[in-house]
Every structure is written in C-alpha cells, then in structure tokens.
Chains A and B, each alone.
Chain A
Amino acid sequence: MKTLLLVILGTIFLACSLKVLAQPQSQTATKTSAKPASAKQSSDEGERRFQENCGRCHYPPESLSPREVKAVLQHMRVRANLTAEDEKLILKYLAP
C-alpha cells in the first residue's frame, strides 16, 4: 500500500511540475491588456465582488482558463454563497 501511495504521489507531483514548467506568464498580460470600456467596467465590478467574497479567504489564483473558472465558481457558489450575478462578473474578471 505504501508503494502504491508513493507511486500516486510521485505521478501527481511530476504532472504538477510539468504544468508549472509549461505555464507561460500569461495572467499579468491578460489582466493588463486593453479592453473596451463596458468590458473594463464589468471586470472592475467583478474584481470588487471577488475581493468582497472570495478575497475574504484567499488571493486570486493564477492562470485560470474560462473552462477552469466556471467549475471553480460553481464550487464557490456553494462555499461562499455567491449569486448567479456574482458568478458572471467574477468570471469576467478572472477570465476576460
């Protein structure tokens, strides 16, 4: 059983390491890119809602794609009692 656990731990650690090495520094570029005024406004509102709700416990995660964010926000709707509107605005902020 110990061997099985070690193999699982090793495999996941390797997968995680490869993901780290493969990740470009994309988040900063994404968040600072020029956006239309309305998109900027909803992103600002999304940032505010993130800080008010999610920011009570943690900082924004790095490098999230829209596919990932949707599942994360569903999870947070349960944990942090987010509304559907919160979810939509925070989605625009985290994955514009």
Chain B
Amino acid sequence: MKQVLTILFALLFSGAYGLQAQENVPIFSGAVAFTASNTAGAPTFQPILVPLIVAPFGDHWLVESRGEIQGFFFKQDGTTGPYNGIFAASLDYLQVDYIANKHLTITAGRFLTPFNIYNERLSPIWFVNLVDSPIIYTIGTRTSASSNGGMIRGVAIDRQSWTVSYTAYFSALTTTENLQSGRSAGGRVDLFLPHVGFEIGASYQRFLQSGDYNASGMYFTWQPRQIPLDVRYEYAHSPGGHGYWLEGAYHLASSRDTSTWLSRLQPVARVQQFFKGTPTPEDILPSANVNQFDVGLNYYLPHDVRLNGSYGRMYSTQGNGNIWNFEISYRFLFPAWPGGAK
C-alpha cells in the first residue's frame, strides 16, 4: 500500500517541466464517494477515493495513473455484531502512452485490461449508472482488472459513416501486492456507426496460466440521436461460466442536457443472467446460476456531484436476496499546480 501511495504522490508532485510549458500542465482528477449498501440483510459502508493523474509531455507522450483507496465497513457476523473496518489501496493503472497517430498508440506499464467495455470505459465511480458491477465483470479481466505489459490500439479504418478500432495487449504475471496481474494476451475489435450512435464489438483473451484457457465476449451500445437514451449490453464466456447484462438509462429531458432539475434525473434499469460452468482457479464468479434485475435513479447535482440510489433482486439456487445501494460521489478535476485560466 505504501508503494502505491508513494507512486501516486510522486507523480502528482513531480514534473516541474510543466512550469515552463503551461499548455502541458498535468491535471489531478478523480472522485470521492461514499456508498451505503445492504445485500440480503448485510449492511456495508464504503468511503472511496479514486485519484487520477494525467501528465502530457508534448503532443505525443502521456503519463497517466489512477489509484483507489477504499474503506470497507461491515458487521462482524454479516448481519449482526459490531462493525469492523478495513482499508485497502490499489493501483489501477500507471502507463506511458505514445500517440504515434490516429492508427496507433503504444502503451507500456500497468493498464486496465481491455476486455469488452465495462472495465475500461464504464467502471469509474463517476460514470457507473449502478453501484454494483455486473456479475460477469470478472470474466476476461482477471486477476485484478489490470494488466502489466504492453498494448497497442487505434483506429484501423476511419470512414465518415463508420469506423473500426482495435486493441491488442500482452500481460505478464505479477504477484506483488496491490499490483497483481495475470499472464494473458488478448484484444478487442469494434465497429462504430456515428450517425445512428451504434457500436458493436468483440473481445478475446487467452489466459496463459492455470491451465491456459480462453475468454471471449461481445458488446453493443446504442445512443439514438433523437432521445437521451443509453442502451448497453455485454456478453462474456469463460470455462467458469457465461452470462450477459443489458442496461438502459434515460435522461428525463428532451436532449442530453442537465440544465433543469428534471433533466438531471436519470432512471436506470439492468437485467442480467449468469450460468455457471466449470469452476477454474482464481475464479471469483458465483458458484450457482444467478438471475438479477436492478432499478435505480441517478440525480446529477451541479458541480459534478451525483446521487445514486438503486434496488435489486437476486435469484439464485443459493438463496434469493434484495440489494439496496445508495451512493454520493463528487468528481473533481484541477491543474496539478496553480496558474491562470488560459
């Protein structure tokens, strides 16, 4: 944990180069959040700090990092007894990017494993529509949702009405505390149709340890231009099981703005199913089939503060249960050192 904190703070306070080149000033961003949950009668509380640092070096080089410091408070016996608490820290990514051109960006270091879209694009606490991650989230993102190695990505084909993007990576096995990663290789390809707001993609991962096995997945997102609706879907398959989630979120407004109190409201609904397979080492998937639905409501307050409340019902052969979540989060962003607005 000390290592993670040292890296984050060293990054924040380093880089005096920016004083001479203010257009490349690093930013300090992230979020603070507090989550109160009750899963099948077991209450938990989680204060979370997610610091993020982005330091550009000219137009082509970028160093970026994100960490997570999280508290977890729970009742000693689950639903009864006094509260106990633990703190944990992890480094989500610390990567160096070289942006060669739109077709190629080369990344080295620790990065988020690019399997489907939830891990890379939707998991930050200031983006998520529902507090709980989907059940299939851990498929393709083991062992820590981060990879240590190298990655290439970019736009393979760029046309006015469609684009094809790609990502390919390799990760080495790392067992160092807070920096874990699995030995794996994989990639993702997606097709995006901007005029209809539709994206579809597929992912593949070869897990090169614990017996070598494959994980695959596909996803789509749809944002119709005419109404502020977001539809997202992911499917993932591994020997440990397979499943999908489908989520819809709708802003109560005529467009994607948040200028009135009503337009700041966003109802959300998600359904998901998981079908267990053959348990594999390091699997943290459920050990039984699960059906679950969640409904929630987001309220976007001014200044990037957001309230999120949700109710879910889980049906499983191991027992059914209600899931309640409430979260308040604040997204912050400011230059890493003071200066003018320009």
Contacts and interface: CB of A to CB of B under 8 A. Distances in A.
A52 B24 contact: no
Interface of A: 1-2, 4-5, 8-9, 12-13, 15-16, 19-20, 23, 25, 28, 51-52, 55-59, 61-68, 70-72, 74-75, 77-79, 81-84
**Chain B interface, DSSP helix/strand/loop, else mixed:** strand
B256 A55 contact: yes
Nearest to B158: A83
A51 B146 CA distance: 28
Contacts of A64: 333
Given A66-B341, A70-B56, A77-B105, A16 B300 contact: no
Given A5-B87, A70-B25, 7 more contacts: A56-B121, A56-B197, A61-B333, A67-B22, A67-B340, A71-B25, A75-B54
Interface string B196-232: 0101000000000000000000000101000000000
Interface residues of B, number: 62
B62 interface: yes
A59 B259 CA distance: 12
B177 interface: no
Contacts of A81: 102, 105, 153-155, 165
Contact of A13 (B32, B56, B59, B258): B32
Given A51-B256, A72-B333, A1 B87 contact: yes
A79 B32 CA distance: 22
Contacts of B199: 56
Given A25-B302, A77-B99, A81-B154, A16 B105 contact: no
B303 A23 contact: yes
A83 B194 CA distance: 15
A36 B122 CA distance: 36
B258 to A, nearest CB: 7
A55 B155 CA distance: 18
B127 interface: yes
A5 B245 CA distance: 35
A82 B333 CA distance: 21
Contacts of B223: 55-56
Contacts of A65: 335, 341-342
B332 A58 contact: no
B27 A71 contact: yes
Contacts of B334: 19, 68
Nearest to B194: A52
A20 to B, nearest CB: 5
B132 interface: no
